[in-house]
Structure 1
Amino acid sequence: MKIVESRAIPTPCLSNHASNLMELENGDLLCTWFGGSMEGSSDISIYLSRFDKAAGAWSEAVKMSDDEDRSEQNPALFRHPSGQIWLLYTAQLKTDQGTAIVRMRRSDNDGTNWGPIETLFDREGTFIRHPPVVNPEGKLLLPIWFSSMKNAFGDDRSLVQISGDGGVSWTLQEVPHSEGCVHMNIMPSCRVAFYRRRRADNIFRSVSSDGGLSWSVPEATPLPNNNSSIQALECSDGRLLIIYNHISAAGRDSESPVPPWVQDKQAFLAECDVTGNSAIWGVPRNPLIIASSKDLGKSWTEELVVEEDAHLLSAHDNKGAFRGDYSYPSIIETSDGRLQISYSYLRDYIKHVTLTP
């Protein structure tokens, strides 16, 4: 595995995070992320850029949402069986993730034009990170989790929204005993899924024998996790790849039950019931690693260190909260056989890297 090209995706924002990639039918790419002054601020909106494969360049970012009262986050791109592209994202009242709902826009012409903003799920506290998958029966499976400030988000749990009519109606299936396991990433085969862990100990894994309609209790893999997002990929050669931060909590001074975007820590703690199962925040988000598996994620082999400078500091980050932060990655395999990844680079911009497999 080798890096062959790296690019910064243009952005008008000081802070940029949570990217997601998609290949288009002509070989171009779309990348979406959220940007603004700071995560959780009401000026955080969803942005979209297109990579022109022939020209080898990303377009200027287009703002896709602009709710003045809500922080719009965690966008995901999905190719619907009809051919439509869906752009899904969350919208919360500032830093309160317990108020999040899920919204979407649709495109009928490969992302050139987009329809109006719609509300997909209006139950408050509903969060997404990864796009839906289509199971072998043709049902849509959208992994979600319910987020709550109680226990400093340590009680967040994963569920799957299931639709048998293309997304007109949905039923909800809970992942058993998944408290603390979020960002469920279902593989397209619907045999295995991977999770971020609020306790910042390990990446977790569960399996399904019925096309993703039900899942086993999540269990720890050998890979560490820092309570930050991961993404996995089923390759055309049969391997699984995963991109993640190879680090876990270790009682550092920076670690606490308070998320880094919270401005008033005492007010946050006053609203929480901190326990031994509370989330752990503040674990460094480096190094950024790609690993591979040939046994559905039971064991892993390191393939590449993408980023590892733990001391690099953004010019926009006076407090050093995002020092050495290379996080929230996305990974896809494109039709030319190459791998494409994107990730937050010090929150300054989204970095796009092309690799040979």
Structure 2
Amino acid sequence: MQYPKLPGLTWDGTIYENEEMGVYEALLPSGGYPTAHAPAMLELPNGDLLCCWFAGSYEGSADVHIICSILPKGSTKWLPPEDISNDSTRSEQNPSLFYGPDHKVWAMYTAQLDRQEGKDNMQYTAVVRCQKSSDGGKTWGPYETYFPEEGTFCRQPIQVLSNGTWIFSNWICTDSLEGLSGDPTVFRISYDEGKTWKTVMMPKSNGHVHANVVELESGHLVAFMRNREAYRIHRSESFDWGETWSEPVPTSLPNNNSSVSAIKLQSGRIAIAYNPTCTPSPQPGKASWPGLRCPVAVALSEDGGQTFPMIRWMERGEGYMGDENKTNNKQYEYPYIMQSEDGMLHLAYAARTRKGVKYIKFSEKDILGEKREQVGLYNPTAAKSH
């Protein structure tokens, strides 16, 4: 497939080849909305890619809703986004996509009450809803409330474990003066493909949210989490299919109190996309918002997330360096990473201070620094041999 060369990169979804970085990238069509945030992706059985995110005036406002763009298989251009949700009384946020056993695309997302005078954050009113598409993301049916407990929030998609168990990461928001620092992680577990769910709490997980579940081996799970103290990405383990979890402990990767995304690659490595910045002086139990959400990096681990010796910056922002210049960079945040069947990696994140969503396509070799024989070609069979 031939991609046009940079310069280019306009907000029309056209994918360009960035020869300097050795990747392919696009700015997705905005749909005319002033802000975009929290993208998620999914590969369909026919090879199409979906990317959804929330768009509207600003996070927390009732005009914010979920939209979805499609990259048809073999195309070099993302299509203009279509509406998924549109409840005019609630701010609909943090979508995730899942291909269900009913052969429909499930869009799971939060829906919280509109902003109220004197209230900075209404996340404690959120519920989790689901809408489904029978035509590959072109049109969507009405919503169903899956988790009505107020304060329920989500970000990562439903994961299907090797024994068929479903696990869906949530956290519970409260109306707290501590700035969301008390939010604990919970898991919804289903043994009947989402018909019924049980709730499992992660111990001592207050302030640890956005859990990304990865199955290392049969029944052995790890979860990588955002840390409200803006200190480090944290890690927890389960050895019984998610029924019990260890207390979260910090990894070596910085976290700036922004979303992270973790997956297990075909090679067996763990990949985490994140902002490699943190607050210099975390306060135990206190949420911190250092503000800097640039650059975006992808780190690889070969020991289940204990260490991350391989890290590459995939987004450099405007390129400013040093404490005196770093605020000149715009914000690039909430990355979502996935791997398609052909072995390629796909990364999406809110770009240019939530002006829109940026998409990057690359290979595991691009992170490792290994030379590919020809830019744009990738051998997933070879990748599995690492």
The answer to whether the Cα contact below 8 Å between 1:221 and 1:299 also exists between their aligned partners in 2 is yes
Deviation of 1:148 after TM superposition, in Å, equals 1.8
Number of residue pairs matched by the alignment: 328
The answer to whether the Cα contact below 8 Å between 1:3 and 1:356 also exists between their aligned partners in 2 is no
The one of 228, 232, 235 equivalent to 1:202 is: 232
The answer to whether the Cα contact below 8 Å between 2:44 and 2:99 also exists between their aligned partners in 1 is no
Q: 5+ residue gaps in structure 1?
A: 256-274, 313-319
Query: Higher strand proportion, which one?
Result: 1
Partner amino acid, structure 2, of 1:138: G
Per the alignment, residue 87 of structure 2 pairs with 67
Give the Cα–Cα distance (whole angstroms) in 1 for the partners of residues 86 and 187 of structure 2. Answer: 27
SS in 2 for 1:57: coil
Give the Cα–Cα distance (whole angstroms) in 1 for the partners of residues 215 and 76 of structure 2. Answer: 29
Rg larger for = 2
SS in 2 for 1:191: strand
Per the alignment, residue 161 of structure 1 pairs with 188
Per the alignment, residue 33 of structure 1 pairs with 53
Q: How does 1:1-357 map to 2 (within 5 A)?
A: 3-11=22-30, 12-94=32-114, 95-150=121-176, 151-189=178-216, 191-250=221-280, 277-309=285-317, 324-346=330-352, 347-357=354-364
Tell me: higher relative CO, structure 1 or 2? Use CA pairs within 8 A at least 6 residues apart.
1
Of the structure 1 ranges 66-75 and 50-59, higher mean CA displacement relative to structure 2 is found in 50-59
Give the Cα–Cα distance (whole angstroms) in 2 for the partners of residues 15 and 321 of structure 1. Answer: 20
Partner amino acid, structure 2, of 1:350: V
SS in 2 for 1:204: strand
What do residues 18-64 of structure 1 show as CA deviations (whole Å, max 9, x unaligned)? Answer: 00011111211000000011111111110100002322111111111
Give the Cα–Cα distance (whole angstroms) in 1 for the partners of residues 75 and 160 of structure 2. Answer: 32
What do residues 174-211 of structure 1 show as CA deviations (whole Å, max 9, x unaligned)? Answer: 01111110001101455211000000000000111112
The answer to whether the Cα contact below 8 Å between 2:24 and 2:361 also exists between their aligned partners in 1 is yes
Partner amino acid, structure 2, of 1:291: A
Change (3 A) 1:66 1:82: closer
Identity %: 38
Give the Cα–Cα distance (whole angstroms) in 1 for the partners of residues 278 and 318 of structure 2. Answer: 14
Give the Cα–Cα distance (whole angstroms) in 2 for the partners of residues 116 and 234 of structure 1. Answer: 33
What TM-score results when the alignment is normalised by the length of structure 2? 0.81
Give the Cα–Cα distance (whole angstroms) in 2 for the partners of residues 101 and 132 of structure 1. Answer: 16
Change (3 A) 1:322 1:174: farther
The answer to whether the Cα contact below 8 Å between 2:270 and 2:301 also exists between their aligned partners in 1 is yes
SS in 2 for 1:98: helix
What TM-score results when the alignment is normalised by the length of structure 1? 0.87
Give the Cα–Cα distance (whole angstroms) in 2 for the partners of residues 311 and 26 of structure 1. Answer: 38
Q: 5+ residue gaps in structure 2?
A: 1-20, 115-120, 321-325, 365-386
Deviation of 1:321 after TM superposition, in Å, equals 9.5
Partner amino acid, structure 1, of 2:334: Y
Deviation of 1:235 after TM superposition, in Å, equals 0.5
Give the Cα–Cα distance (whole angstroms) in 1 for the partners of residues 255 and 34 of structure 2. Answer: 27
